[in-house]
Amino acid sequence: MKLIHILIVLLFLQSCEKKELNEDEILEIIHSNEGYENMNLKRDFLTGNEFVDSLKTFRKILNEENFKPIYKADFNNDGKKDYLVNLAYPIVSDINNIVKPRISEHNYNSALLISDNDGYKVLNPGKGKVYEIVASKTIKLKNQPLIKLISYNQAFDDSYHIFDIDTLMIKNNILTEYYANNKKHKVDKIIFTQNEGYSPVRIYQLILTKDLVILHSDNYKNLKGNYSGDNNSGFQKLANHLNEINFLKLREKSLFPCCNESSVETEIFFDNGKSKKIHDYNAKGNLSLMNFYEMVNKIAENENWKK
């Protein structure tokens, strides 16, 4: 009898773990995140722009991709369902029935609900407007679930190239561009420089190796001059991340200089004498680089700097 009771409890727990979220539950989780509060499930994948919606290329994309509001997959291999959701902005008009423009730091047309120990966390593929997302869907490559994005091309020099297609993946529970396994390089040193303004003014520069971390500060948190740190444990994580995103294939110059946006320059020394420099004009070259910058900034913020 006791064994039967144990089996019933185990079956009940398993059924709880396998429970899938319904639309209302998915939206409730999404709406609890800043920026997503008023978003609706996207069921009509026309953009509302008459010119774009009339394009044969766009109509072809819609017919071929057959987008859905919600996709299910196990992105982080924990045995639980994750949810990729296409979303639509609510239409907001003024008293003259003119649609108000949306001004935001991020694009909220897509959300990824990833399962974790506390339930679900929401990741934004449109973070920093790296991608001006039109729609997203799940695809598989060698049984690995990936995210296919259709986005507006943000370049201005090619009026015929309106849409971009990109592929994202989950790595260490964060969103990043998909990179196939590549040769690993021995990263010896990283020099990270944070600049400000169209004519770059240096804010600070970090030099990191496995043995040291040095800060040259012009205006970082009211620090002026040269400082050394005593915690170099983050260097290997940075080196691993650079290898994971195949840093050798990243563009040397990302986007174009604009206004007074911040910019960053990363110089990577590897394989005993080789180097690679990446200049990212608005610090939003892609999600992989943005994740890298966040890791560097965390090292700088948590360091106990000494002159």
C-alpha distances in angstroms, 224 versus 159, 209, 216, 229? 46, 22, 8, 15
**Tokens read off for 270:** 């590897």
Sign of the Cα pseudo-torsion (107, 160, 285, 173, in order) = positive
- 67 torsion bin: left (phi>0), alpha (psi -120 to 50), beta (else): beta
Residue 29: φ, ψ to 5°: -65, -45
Average pLDDT over residues 245-272: 82
Average pLDDT over residues 176-184: 87
Dump pLDDT digits (tens) for 293-305. Answer: 999 999 999 998 9
Distance in angstroms (rounded) separating the CA atoms of residues 302 and 251: 29
**Tokens read off for 37:** 């509060």
Residue 283: φ, ψ to 5°: 60, 30
**Tokens read off for 93:** 């008009």
DSSP 101: P
**Tokens read off for 96:** 């003259």
Dump pLDDT digits (tens) for 12-41. Answer: 444 445 579 999 999 999 999 999 999 999
* All domains of the chain in start order, with CATH: 20-177 (no CATH), 187-302 (3.30.1560.10)
Q: In this model, does residue 285 exceed pLDDT 70?
A: yes
Burial class (CB in 10 A: 0-12, 13-18, 19+), 263: buried
